[in-house]
Amino acid sequence: MMMHDNLDPRDGLEPTPRTPKESPMADQELAPTGRISEAVHAWLDGEPVNQAALNAAPREVAFWQKVEAETSSRRRMVTPAHVPAQILGQLPDKR
Amino acid sequence: MGVGLSSARVTHYTSVVKLTQPTLPEEQADADQAVIDRVLAGDRNAFGILIQRYSDPLYRHAVGMTGSPDVAEDILQVSFIKAYNHLSEVRGRFDAWVFRIVANGCKDWLKNIRRTHLSYEEDDQPSGYENPEEELDRGELRSDLDLALSALPASLREAFVMKHVEGRSYEEMAELLDTTVGALKMRVHRAREALQALLEERYQ
Protein backbone atom coordinates (compact mmCIF):
# COMPACT_ATOMS: atom_id res chain seq x y z
CA MET A 1 0.00 0.00 0.00
CA MET A 2 1.60 3.26 -1.09
CA MET A 3 1.00 5.98 1.47
CA HIS A 4 3.09 8.81 0.20
CA ASP A 5 2.37 11.42 -2.40
CA ASN A 6 5.94 12.49 -2.51
CA LEU A 7 8.05 9.65 -3.81
CA ASP A 8 11.25 11.61 -4.09
CA PRO A 9 13.72 9.19 -2.54
CA ARG A 10 15.86 12.10 -1.35
CA ASP A 11 13.10 13.19 1.01
CA GLY A 12 14.16 12.91 4.59
CA LEU A 13 17.66 11.81 3.70
CA GLU A 14 19.37 15.09 4.45
CA PRO A 15 18.84 17.45 7.35
CA THR A 16 16.13 19.92 6.52
CA PRO A 17 17.68 23.34 5.94
CA ARG A 18 16.71 26.03 8.40
CA THR A 19 13.69 27.87 7.16
CA PRO A 20 12.31 31.28 7.98
CA LYS A 21 9.72 29.45 10.08
CA GLU A 22 12.43 28.67 12.60
CA SER A 23 13.58 32.25 12.93
CA PRO A 24 13.02 34.17 16.19
CA MET A 25 10.05 35.80 14.51
CA ALA A 26 8.47 32.39 14.07
CA ASP A 27 8.98 31.78 17.78
CA GLN A 28 7.11 35.00 18.48
CA GLU A 29 4.29 33.85 16.24
CA LEU A 30 4.14 30.62 18.23
CA ALA A 31 4.16 32.33 21.62
CA PRO A 32 1.75 30.64 24.03
CA THR A 33 -1.38 32.55 24.92
CA GLY A 34 -1.12 32.09 28.67
CA ARG A 35 -4.09 29.76 28.95
CA ILE A 36 -1.90 27.38 30.96
CA SER A 37 0.15 28.84 33.80
CA GLU A 38 3.94 28.91 33.58
CA ALA A 39 4.09 26.73 36.69
CA VAL A 40 2.11 23.99 34.98
CA HIS A 41 4.29 24.15 31.87
CA ALA A 42 7.41 24.01 34.04
CA TRP A 43 6.03 21.03 35.95
CA LEU A 44 5.18 19.21 32.73
CA ASP A 45 8.64 20.02 31.37
CA GLY A 46 10.31 18.59 34.47
CA GLU A 47 11.78 21.97 35.38
CA PRO A 48 11.97 23.64 38.82
CA VAL A 49 8.46 24.64 39.80
CA ASN A 50 6.97 27.44 41.84
CA GLN A 51 5.06 25.06 44.08
CA ALA A 52 2.58 27.65 45.33
CA ALA A 53 1.68 28.66 41.78
CA LEU A 54 1.24 25.01 40.88
CA ASN A 55 -1.01 24.44 43.88
CA ALA A 56 -3.12 27.33 42.65
CA ALA A 57 -4.01 25.39 39.51
CA PRO A 58 -5.38 22.05 40.82
CA ARG A 59 -7.80 21.54 37.91
CA GLU A 60 -5.07 21.95 35.33
CA VAL A 61 -2.82 19.59 37.27
CA ALA A 62 -5.57 16.99 37.48
CA PHE A 63 -6.30 17.36 33.77
CA TRP A 64 -2.67 16.83 32.76
CA GLN A 65 -2.31 13.88 35.12
CA LYS A 66 -5.17 12.22 33.19
CA VAL A 67 -3.56 13.04 29.85
CA GLU A 68 -0.22 11.73 31.08
CA ALA A 69 -1.83 8.45 32.16
CA GLU A 70 -2.95 8.01 28.55
CA THR A 71 0.28 9.16 26.91
CA SER A 72 2.40 6.97 29.18
CA SER A 73 0.43 3.92 28.04
CA ARG A 74 1.22 4.91 24.45
CA ARG A 75 4.89 5.17 25.41
CA ARG A 76 4.86 1.41 26.03
CA MET A 77 3.53 0.57 22.58
CA VAL A 78 5.72 -1.73 20.56
CA THR A 79 5.87 -2.53 16.87
CA PRO A 80 3.55 -5.44 16.04
CA ALA A 81 5.63 -8.63 15.95
CA HIS A 82 5.08 -9.35 12.25
CA VAL A 83 6.28 -5.95 11.01
CA PRO A 84 10.10 -6.32 11.19
CA ALA A 85 10.01 -9.63 9.30
CA GLN A 86 7.58 -8.15 6.78
CA ILE A 87 9.93 -5.22 6.12
CA LEU A 88 12.93 -7.50 5.83
CA GLY A 89 11.02 -9.68 3.38
CA GLN A 90 10.30 -6.69 1.17
CA LEU A 91 13.86 -5.45 0.87
CA PRO A 92 15.22 -5.74 -2.66
CA ASP A 93 17.68 -8.63 -3.13
CA LYS A 94 20.34 -6.42 -4.58
CA ARG A 95 21.10 -2.95 -3.36
CA MET B 1 4.07 34.17 46.60
CA GLY B 2 0.82 35.87 47.38
CA VAL B 3 -1.46 32.95 46.60
CA GLY B 4 -2.67 32.59 50.18
CA LEU B 5 -2.00 28.90 50.66
CA SER B 6 -0.91 27.74 54.08
CA SER B 7 2.02 25.37 54.20
CA ALA B 8 -0.30 22.61 55.44
CA ARG B 9 -2.25 22.77 52.18
CA VAL B 10 0.72 22.77 49.87
CA THR B 11 0.85 19.70 47.69
CA HIS B 12 4.08 18.68 46.06
CA TYR B 13 3.56 17.28 42.60
CA THR B 14 6.22 15.22 40.96
CA SER B 15 6.73 15.71 37.24
CA VAL B 16 4.32 13.55 35.29
CA VAL B 17 6.26 13.36 32.04
CA LYS B 18 8.74 10.51 32.21
CA LEU B 19 11.70 10.78 29.92
CA THR B 20 12.86 7.73 28.05
CA GLN B 21 16.25 6.23 28.87
CA PRO B 22 19.01 8.49 27.64
CA THR B 23 21.07 6.97 24.88
CA LEU B 24 24.81 7.02 24.41
CA PRO B 25 24.93 8.61 20.96
CA GLU B 26 28.62 7.93 20.29
CA GLU B 27 28.56 4.23 21.19
CA GLN B 28 25.21 3.88 19.50
CA ALA B 29 26.46 5.55 16.33
CA ASP B 30 29.50 3.26 16.25
CA ALA B 31 27.36 0.17 16.72
CA ASP B 32 24.99 1.31 14.00
CA GLN B 33 27.86 2.07 11.63
CA ALA B 34 29.22 -1.45 12.12
CA VAL B 35 25.84 -2.86 11.08
CA ILE B 36 25.60 -0.49 8.14
CA ASP B 37 29.04 -1.64 6.95
CA ARG B 38 27.84 -5.26 7.04
CA VAL B 39 24.73 -4.42 5.04
CA LEU B 40 26.72 -2.44 2.48
CA ALA B 41 29.09 -5.39 2.18
CA GLY B 42 26.15 -7.55 1.12
CA ASP B 43 24.71 -8.89 4.41
CA ARG B 44 21.10 -7.97 3.69
CA ASN B 45 19.78 -9.66 6.83
CA ALA B 46 21.94 -7.46 9.06
CA PHE B 47 19.53 -4.66 8.23
CA GLY B 48 17.11 -6.50 10.51
CA ILE B 49 19.28 -5.44 13.46
CA LEU B 50 18.61 -1.79 12.66
CA ILE B 51 14.90 -2.48 12.22
CA GLN B 52 14.74 -4.22 15.60
CA ARG B 53 16.79 -1.46 17.24
CA TYR B 54 14.69 1.47 16.06
CA SER B 55 11.26 0.27 14.99
CA ASP B 56 9.55 0.79 18.38
CA PRO B 57 10.24 4.53 18.84
CA LEU B 58 9.58 5.12 15.14
CA TYR B 59 6.33 3.17 15.32
CA ARG B 60 5.21 5.18 18.35
CA HIS B 61 5.98 8.39 16.47
CA ALA B 62 4.01 7.26 13.44
CA VAL B 63 1.02 6.16 15.55
CA GLY B 64 1.12 9.44 17.46
CA MET B 65 1.23 11.47 14.27
CA THR B 66 -1.35 9.55 12.24
CA GLY B 67 -3.60 8.19 15.00
CA SER B 68 -3.66 4.90 13.10
CA PRO B 69 -1.62 1.76 13.89
CA ASP B 70 -2.35 0.45 10.40
CA VAL B 71 -1.06 3.57 8.67
CA ALA B 72 1.93 3.64 11.04
CA GLU B 73 2.89 0.12 9.89
CA ASP B 74 2.78 1.22 6.26
CA ILE B 75 4.85 4.33 6.91
CA LEU B 76 7.39 2.29 8.85
CA GLN B 77 7.66 -0.23 6.05
CA VAL B 78 8.07 2.34 3.27
CA SER B 79 10.55 4.33 5.37
CA PHE B 80 12.81 1.39 6.23
CA ILE B 81 12.86 0.24 2.59
CA LYS B 82 13.78 3.77 1.55
CA ALA B 83 16.51 3.82 4.22
CA TYR B 84 17.85 0.48 2.98
CA ASN B 85 17.99 1.70 -0.60
CA HIS B 86 19.93 4.82 0.40
CA LEU B 87 22.02 3.38 3.22
CA SER B 88 25.30 4.42 1.64
CA GLU B 89 24.18 8.05 2.02
CA VAL B 90 23.94 8.00 5.83
CA ARG B 91 25.99 10.81 7.32
CA GLY B 92 26.03 11.11 11.09
CA ARG B 93 23.61 9.20 13.30
CA PHE B 94 21.49 6.54 11.64
CA ASP B 95 18.70 6.93 14.21
CA ALA B 96 18.33 10.65 13.45
CA TRP B 97 18.48 10.01 9.71
CA VAL B 98 15.83 7.30 9.72
CA PHE B 99 13.70 9.37 12.12
CA ARG B 100 13.59 12.17 9.55
CA ILE B 101 12.47 9.73 6.86
CA VAL B 102 9.61 8.50 9.08
CA ALA B 103 8.72 12.02 10.24
CA ASN B 104 8.51 13.21 6.63
CA GLY B 105 6.40 10.16 5.77
CA CYS B 106 3.97 11.09 8.53
CA LYS B 107 3.75 14.70 7.38
CA ASP B 108 3.17 13.59 3.78
CA TRP B 109 0.37 11.34 4.99
CA LEU B 110 -1.21 14.15 7.02
CA LYS B 111 -1.14 16.46 3.99
CA ASN B 112 -2.72 13.75 1.88
CA ILE B 113 -5.41 12.79 4.37
CA ARG B 114 -6.46 16.41 4.77
CA ARG B 115 -6.70 16.79 1.01
CA THR B 116 -8.80 13.69 0.52
CA HIS B 117 -10.98 14.24 3.63
CA LEU B 118 -10.61 10.70 4.86
CA SER B 119 -11.37 10.07 8.50
CA TYR B 120 -8.81 8.96 11.06
CA GLU B 121 -11.52 6.87 12.62
CA GLU B 122 -11.83 4.52 9.67
CA ASP B 123 -9.01 2.42 11.04
CA ASP B 124 -10.12 -0.17 13.56
CA GLN B 125 -7.02 -2.31 13.53
CA PRO B 126 -5.44 -3.58 16.76
CA SER B 127 -3.35 -0.89 18.41
CA GLY B 128 -0.22 -2.85 19.21
CA TYR B 129 -0.38 -2.25 22.95
CA GLU B 130 1.78 -4.75 24.81
CA ASN B 131 -0.90 -5.66 27.30
CA PRO B 132 -4.39 -6.62 26.06
CA GLU B 133 -5.89 -5.15 29.25
CA GLU B 134 -4.57 -1.75 28.22
CA GLU B 135 -6.47 -2.14 24.99
CA LEU B 136 -9.72 -2.66 26.89
CA ASP B 137 -9.04 0.07 29.42
CA ARG B 138 -7.99 2.90 27.17
CA GLY B 139 -11.38 4.57 27.54
CA GLU B 140 -12.81 7.64 25.99
CA LEU B 141 -9.85 9.91 26.68
CA ARG B 142 -7.81 8.00 24.13
CA SER B 143 -10.17 8.67 21.24
CA ASP B 144 -10.82 12.23 22.41
CA LEU B 145 -7.09 12.88 22.62
CA ASP B 146 -6.58 11.46 19.11
CA LEU B 147 -9.34 13.68 17.79
CA ALA B 148 -7.91 16.75 19.51
CA LEU B 149 -4.40 15.92 18.24
CA SER B 150 -5.73 15.60 14.70
CA ALA B 151 -6.98 19.18 14.95
CA LEU B 152 -3.48 20.54 15.63
CA PRO B 153 -1.12 21.83 12.93
CA ALA B 154 1.45 19.13 12.08
CA SER B 155 4.35 20.99 13.72
CA LEU B 156 2.53 21.31 17.06
CA ARG B 157 1.30 17.75 16.92
CA GLU B 158 4.80 16.49 16.17
CA ALA B 159 6.29 18.44 19.08
CA PHE B 160 3.60 17.24 21.53
CA VAL B 161 3.94 13.60 20.44
CA MET B 162 7.73 13.68 20.74
CA LYS B 163 7.59 15.26 24.21
CA HIS B 164 4.60 13.58 25.81
CA VAL B 165 4.19 10.28 23.96
CA GLU B 166 7.79 9.46 23.10
CA GLY B 167 9.17 11.06 26.28
CA ARG B 168 12.07 12.79 24.53
CA SER B 169 14.02 15.69 26.04
CA TYR B 170 13.88 19.06 24.31
CA GLU B 171 17.57 18.71 23.50
CA GLU B 172 17.00 15.39 21.74
CA MET B 173 14.01 16.79 19.88
CA ALA B 174 16.05 19.78 18.74
CA GLU B 175 18.75 17.49 17.40
CA LEU B 176 16.27 15.28 15.54
CA LEU B 177 14.28 18.15 14.08
CA ASP B 178 17.27 20.43 13.47
CA THR B 179 15.75 23.36 15.30
CA THR B 180 16.17 25.12 18.63
CA VAL B 181 15.08 24.10 22.12
CA GLY B 182 13.29 27.45 22.45
CA ALA B 183 11.27 26.94 19.29
CA LEU B 184 10.27 23.44 20.40
CA LYS B 185 9.21 24.60 23.86
CA MET B 186 6.97 27.15 22.21
CA ARG B 187 5.42 24.46 20.01
CA VAL B 188 4.85 22.08 22.93
CA HIS B 189 3.35 24.85 25.06
CA ARG B 190 1.04 25.93 22.25
CA ALA B 191 0.03 22.33 21.65
CA ARG B 192 -0.82 21.89 25.35
CA GLU B 193 -2.92 25.03 25.33
CA ALA B 194 -4.79 23.93 22.23
CA LEU B 195 -5.41 20.43 23.62
CA GLN B 196 -6.55 21.76 26.97
CA ALA B 197 -8.92 24.17 25.23
CA LEU B 198 -10.38 21.30 23.21
CA LEU B 199 -10.67 18.83 26.09
CA GLU B 200 -11.06 20.79 29.32
CA GLU B 201 -14.82 21.06 29.25
CA ARG B 202 -15.12 17.32 29.38
CA TYR B 203 -12.14 16.39 31.51
CA GLN B 204 -11.55 19.25 33.95
What is the pTM (predicted TM-score) of this model? Answer: 0.75
How far apart (Å, rounded) are the C-alpha atoms in residues A87 and B82? 11
Alpha helical stretches, state H, chain B: 25-40, 47-66, 69-85, 94-116, 132-136, 139-150, 154-160, 170-177, 181-203
pLDDT for residue A1 is more than 50: no
Q: How far is CA A93 from CA B44, B51, B53, B88, B101, in A?
A: 8, 17, 22, 16, 22
Q: Consecutive sets of 10 residues in chain B, 204 residues long: mean pLDDT of each?
A: 40 60 71 95 95 96 94 97 96 93 95 59 44 54 89 94 96 94 96 92 73
ipTM value, please give it.
0.73
Q: Spell out the SS3 assignment of chain A.
A: CCCCCCCCCCCCCCCCCCCHHHCHHHHHHCCCCCCCCHHHHHHHCCCCCCHHHHHCCHHHHHHHHHHHHHHHHHCCCCCCCHHHHHHHHHCCCCC
- Which chain A residues are within 8 Å of B149, Cβ to Cβ? none
Give the A window 9-68 contacts with B, CB below 8 Å: 9, 11-13, 15-16, 18, 21-22, 26-27, 30-33, 35-36, 41, 43-46, 49-56, 58-68
* Contact: A73, B134; criterion CB under 8 Å: yes
Do the chains contact at A32 and B193, CB–CB below 8 Å? yes
Dump pLDDT digits (tens) for A31-69: 677 789 999 999 999 999 989 999 999 999 999 999 999
Map out the domains of chain A as residue ranges: 36-75
Q: Is B73 on the interface with A (CB under 8 A)?
A: yes
Q: Which of residues 16-45 of B touch A (CB under 8 A)?
A: 16-20, 39-40, 44-45
With CA atoms as reference, the chain B residue closest to A84 would be: B51
- CB nearest A59 (choices: B78, B130, B204): B204
In this structure, how many other beta carbons lie within 10 angstroms of the beta carbon of residue B84? 20
Between these two residues, B77 and A6, which has the higher pLDDT value? B77
Whole-angstrom Cα distance, residue B77 to residue B80? 5
